């Protein structure tokens, strides 16, 4: 199931339910466990981690996992 098909037709007022849906989807997939809790190099990734910490909680490792995944896949399409 594609994320875009799940979120299709949603409005801004449903952002909280979309965020909960995204958290549920992230929980379904096995994430890398070897990720250090250090942001990838660059101000953009540090900023990304900071904002994701607000969303997932400051004690969660998910923001770092997302940032490192984005960093490793940069330039690929």
- Dihedral through CA 57, CA 59, CA 64, CA 65, nearest 10? -90
> Residue 22 — very low, low, confident or very high, per pLDDT cuts 50/70/90?
confident
d(CA 8, CA 10): 6
CA dihedral (46, 51, 57, 59) in degrees, to 10, reads 10
User: Residue 15 has which token pair?
Assistant: 């952002």
- Model-level pTM greater than 0.75? no
pLDDT-derived band at 21, boundaries 50, 70, 90: confident
Report pLDDT for 17.
73
Q: For the chain, which residues make up each domain, given as ranges?
A: 37-77
- Residue 48 pLDDT: 93
Distance from C-alpha of 59 to C-alpha of 52, rounded to nearest angstrom:
11
């Amino acid at each position: 199931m594609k994320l875009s098909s799940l979120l299709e037709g949603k409005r801004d007022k449903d952002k909280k339910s979309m965020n909960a849906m995204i958290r549920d989807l992230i929980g379904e997939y096995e994430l890398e466990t070897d990720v250090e809790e250090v942001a990838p190099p660059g101000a953009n990734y540090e900023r990304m981690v900071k904002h994701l910490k607000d969303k997932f909680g400051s004690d969660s490792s998910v923001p770092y996992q997302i940032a490192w995944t984005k960093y490793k896949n940069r330039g690929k399409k």
